[in-house]
Amino acid sequence: MKKLSCRTETFTDSVIRRMTRVSLRYGAVNLSQGFPDFDPPKEILNVLSQSALPHQYSITWGAQNFRDALAAKQKRFTGLDIDPNSQIVVTCGSTEAMMAAMMTVCDPGDKVIVFSPFYENYGADAILAGAEPIYVPLNPQDFDFDPNVLEDAFRQGPKALILCNPSNPCGKVFTRRELEIIAALAEKYDAYVITDEVYEHIVYAPHEHVYFAALPGMFQRTISCSSLSKTYSITGWRLGYIIAPAEIIDVAKKVHDFLTVGAAAPLQEAAVVGLKMGDDYYKALQDTYTNKRNLFLKGLDDLRIPHTTPEGAYYVMLDISEYGYDDDLLFCEDLARVVGVGAVPGSSFFKEPVNHLIRLHFAKQESTLIEALNRLENIGKLKK
């Protein structure tokens, strides 16, 4: 038999999703792959169960009413006037949005800047698009970056920078000042910025989310990707989108058209009501996640497990140095099997050889988080 594609030899399956399977195998409380165990807003579920929903393809770029509602929501949160017909593509989750954005921008051999730690999809996205990542470290504990190191990366002539903000896995929310530094460099070296802003509405006070595309002069070079998964607790619906200037969207539409044809029509229809929800919904979402974060972090503190303090998103990284493992994947497998909690090894997010961190998420009901904390009382069993 002939060899399968070389392209696919250089990356593995997703470790995040693999850890969900490991959690299932051992009956562990799954805090690995980030998704809620609570229901979406009832307004959305009501439409899903009660309305006559479309069963055939929507328009390839997304149903008209979905794009109209999305443009209105963007105006509300970013102040930008987005043309729903020429500046939006609705995708199958932000996973497709990021892949399509990368393929829209990059030719084989092009470089893209990626901050490390990074969400693991970007590595595979870059390989599939033929692009070569230039990694710029976010330095623990604050996960800040050195502007000189970033400028050195820009000097290599990258086509784009990937910006995950709020950041998965480290919970960093980039400040306006930091974003302005990135913006100035993107302008100076004429690079695109591809954003992944799926946690835009999960930010902890006093931190605030600043939309990169809304910075002065940045709309024209920004390809904003996001999704409804986290904001409306519908990760399985796979509804995401790209927003960018029309010249870029023209190309992204072609890529999307041949990758997936379109996002699920009935789910777009049901989700429109979510896009139209008022400010009180987003305030309640923030409060809910702030309470979950506080409960979980306090529980970790009580157990004396060192951890990061997320400014946004719903992940926390635990320092496992004291348990004596060289291999954080093995640690996570043992954690699922012996302690009964699913986590993701930190090494799957870092370019650097980091193996003393694991990622847990807290997008779970309080009772689930308490059960996980109770189980974590046994984490000492893993000490070598």
If the CB atoms of residues 87 and 91 are measured against ligand GLN, the closer one turns out to be 91
DSSP 252-306: HHHHHHHHHS-S-HHHHHHHHHHHT--HHHHHHHHHHHHHHHHHHHHHHHHTT--
Q: How far is the CB of 150 from ligand GLN (least distance, A)?
A: 24
For residues 22 and 77, what is the distance between their CA atoms, to the nearest angstrom?
Answer: 39
Whichever of 119 and 122 has its CB closer to ligand GLN, that residue is 119
Whichever of 230 and 256 has its CB closer to ligand GLN, that residue is 230
219 or 362: CB nearest ligand GLN = 362
Q: Which is nearer to ligand GLN, 33 or 195 (CB)?
A: 33
Least distance (Å) from ligand GLN to the CB of residue 76?
24
183 contacts 217 by C-beta, under 8 angstroms: yes
CA distances to 85, 163, 192, 238, 249 from 220, in Å: 17, 16, 9, 27, 11
The least CB distance from residue 124 to ligand GLN, in Å, is 12
Q: Which of 33, 91, 268, 368 binds ligand GLN (CB under 6 A)?
A: 33
Binding residue (CB under 6 A) for ligand GLN from 30, 74, 78, 95: 95
Distance CA 380, CA 225 (A): 41
Q: Does 34 bind ligand GLN (CB under 6 A)?
A: yes
The residue of the chain with the least Cβ separation from ligand GLN equals 34
Question: Which of 178, 180, 188, 126 lies closest to 154, judged by CA?
Answer: 188
Helix (H, G, I), strand (E, B) or coil at 61: coil
**CA 358, CA 369: separation in Å to the nearest integer?**
17
Q: In Å, how far from its chain's centre is CA 362? A: 15
**What's the closest the beta carbon of residue 245 comes to ligand GLN, in angstroms?**
27
In contact, 135 and 128? CB cutoff 8 Å = no
Q: Does 16 bind ligand GLN (CB under 6 A)?
A: yes
According to CB under 6 A, which one of 8, 10, 12, 17 is a site residue for ligand GLN? 17
Q: Verify binding: residue 312, ligand GLN, rule CB under 6 A.
A: no
In sequence order, what are the residues at sequence separation of 6 or more whose Cβ sits closer than 8 angstroms to the Cβ of residue 272? 47, 63, 65, 66, 69
**Shortest spacing between CB 322 and ligand GLN, in angstroms:** 25
Binding residues for ligand GLN, rule CB under 6 A, total: 7
The only residue of 116, 168, 347, 348 in contact with ligand GLN, by rule CB under 6 A: 168
Please check whether residue 307 is in contact with residue 300, taking contact to mean a CB–CB distance below 8 angstroms: yes
**Interface with ligand GLN, residue 357, by CB under 6 A:** no
Query: By CB under 6 A, is residue 117 in contact with ligand GLN?
Result: no
Phi first, then psi: give them for residue 235, nearest 5 degrees.
-65, -30
- CB 205 to ligand GLN: min, Å: 23
Residue ranges binding ligand GLN (CB under 6 A): 16-17, 33-34, 95, 119, 168
